[in-house]
Every structure is written in C-alpha cells, then in structure tokens.
C-alpha cells in the first residue's frame, strides 16, 4: 500500500514544474555526494579507488567528468 501511495505522489510531484525547480535548486545548494568503502573491499586491485574510500563533496563542486564516472 505504501509503495502505491509513494508512486502516486512521485508522479504528481514530477508533473509540477515549479516544485521540481525548487527541489532541483535545493539539491544544487545543499546536496552532498559521499562514498565509503565496503568493509573487506580494501584489496590491492581496488587500490586505484583509495582516494574515494572516505569521500565527500558538495554537488555544485563536482566536475562533470567525475559526475559521469
């Protein structure tokens, strides 16, 4: 029942351009991208991702090439 209600609300919100604009602006101003390593995944072959084991950055400062990766 909750999934159905969530779907209905999501659809209604998605059709409201003004609300979407406000949500997008809020996310741009306050959003943060974070990542952390899953315990036990710190292997030698994953060493190239070590910089992102404990990573956090605001959405507005993430370069496009990193966002797409």
Q: Are residues 25 and 56 in the same domain?
A: no
Tokens standing for 17? 């351009």
Residue 30 parent element (H or E): helix 17-30
Q: What is the predicted pLDDT for the residue at 47?
A: 73
Sequence-separated (6 or more) residues with CB below 8 Å from residue 67: none
- The number of domains in the chain is 2
Residue stretches of the chain with pLDDT short of 70: 41-46
Q: Are residues 36 and 3 in the same domain?
A: no
Q: Are residues 1 and 23 in the same domain?
A: yes
Residues 45-57 have pLDDT tens digits of: 667 777 777 889 9
Residue 55 parent element (H or E): strand 54-58
Q: Are residues 21 and 42 in the same domain?
A: no
Which residues constitute the domain of residue 7?
1-30
Q: Are residues 23 and 39 in the same domain?
A: no
């Amino acid at each position: 029942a909750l999934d159905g209600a969530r779907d209905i609300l999501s659809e209604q919100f998605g059709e409201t351009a003004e609300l979407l604009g406000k949500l997008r602006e809020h996310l741009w101003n306050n959003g943060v991208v974070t990542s952390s390593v899953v315990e036990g995944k710190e292997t030698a072959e994953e060493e190239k991702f070590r910089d992102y084991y404990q990573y956090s950055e605001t959405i507005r400062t993430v370069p496009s090439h990193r966002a797409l990766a």
